[in-house]
Amino acid sequence: MSRMDRRNFLTSTTLGLSALALRSAYSQNTSFEGELVELIIPFKEGGGSDTWGRFNAPFFSRFLPGQPTVVVRNVPGGNSIAGANRFASRARPDGLSVLGTSASTQFPYLMADPRVHYDYAAWRVVMAYGTGGVAYVSSKLGVDSIADLANVMDRELLYGSQGPTSLDLVPVLGFKLLGLNVRPIFGMSGRGAGRLAFERGELNLDYQTSTAYLRNVVPLIEQGDAVPLFSWGALDDAGNLIRDPTFPDLPHYGEAYETLHGQPPEGISWESWFAFFTAGFPAQKLFVVPRETPDEIVAAYADAVTAMKRDPDYIARKPAALGVYEQVTGAAAQRVYELATDVPQSARDWVRQWLRDEFRVNLER
């Protein structure tokens, strides 16, 4: 390390420690004692966002100053748009209402869906969490791995979807690029509803985000009712698609594509899928508060996240509940926010045209 590099490193380290000390000083002026804090999840119970919120709620209660009662409140509707709209219009900057967004909240915003009345720029991120997802099929198809899908390419596969502009954009477009004969059944109230329909035998193809997959789908696999195909994957430090560290034995989506087609994916359709995958999974879930929320309240949440990540109970329970993905705050959370909301215009335009051609969905205001 050169003298200049060392000086820059020491300076950045000193600034980081100073910021941490200042943040802690801010948070000491805040107390939620006797208060009720709502973690608003704009989906029904049972899906990945709900699982994520309910895992974190007791730790926020334990580590926020004053140890408030922290509850999860489900406000479903419109693939999370209704709950996010309501939060945007009603939430006060007092730290007592926190919205848990998902890619199903981000995608309609990115696509300028006319139903959206919220603005991510009007929110502050207090915690961010990337996740993964796994696609799986019914064991009744006779498929044991991704390679076996070549034997059922002409068979109709039924997939329960929340809607083409929700997080389901990634799997629905992904299945299309793989060449599968998939018929989406739109109108599911959440990924949990899709899984239940799969369990009832009404669907033979599904995917779940990692939290719901670990909790609800692994038992189906162990019972012989479902077969995992591939994960969507994860990003390395250079932004390349790699295997999801929570599911290292499963091929990622790019590997699945190459298995079926004999060559890696390429072209504008792949680039568009990859852009929305990046916004939807490595940057999937955010806890946000109104932009006007005072620094000391935001600092209190940041300190709570730091404290809970050191808690032995959290450390012991998190891998089985959420996987190995890191929950982050501060500057790291801001970087995740930027991933979640920075999709190239070329990808947005291509996807808009695909939605018009494939599903007659017109998102022009």
CATH of the domain at 309: 3.40.190.150
Query: Are 159 and 245 part of one and the same domain?
Result: yes
Strands 285-290 and 182-186, sheet pairing: unpaired
pLDDT score recorded for residue 28: 63
Query: Are 138 and 261 part of one and the same domain?
Result: yes
Query: Are 269 and 166 part of one and the same domain?
Result: yes
| 148 token code pair | 């076996």
pTM attached to this predicted model: 0.78
Query: Are 170 and 250 part of one and the same domain?
Result: yes
| 60 token code pair | 């926020």
SS3 at position 2: coil
Number of domains into which the chain is organized: 2
| 276 token code pair | 């929305």
Query: Are 211 and 332 part of one and the same domain?
Result: no
Cβ contacts of 92 within 8 Å, gap of 6 or more: 290
Backbone angles phi, psi at 159, to 5 degrees: -125, 125
Residue at 92 is within a domain: yes
Cβ contacts of 12 within 8 Å, gap of 6 or more: none
| Domain-ending residue, one of 252, 280, 308 | 280
Residue at 363 is within a domain: no
Residue at 203 is within a domain: yes
Query: Are 27 and 121 part of one and the same domain?
Result: yes
Residue at 63 is within a domain: yes
Domain of 252, in residue numbers: 133-280
Query: Are 174 and 235 part of one and the same domain?
Result: yes
Average pLDDT per 10 consecutive residues for the chain, totaling 365 residues? 37 42 56 97 89 96 98 93 96 97 91 92 94 96 93 94 90 96 92 94 96 94 97 91 96 97 96 94 93 96 96 95 90 88 92 93 73
Query: Are 101 and 7 part of one and the same domain?
Result: yes
pLDDT score recorded for residue 46: 83
Cβ atoms of 227 and 205 within 8 Å: the answer is: no
Cβ atoms of 188 and 164 within 8 Å: the answer is: no
Cβ atoms of 298 and 124 within 8 Å: the answer is: yes
Query: Are 121 and 12 part of one and the same domain?
Result: yes
CATH of the domain at 253: 3.40.190.10
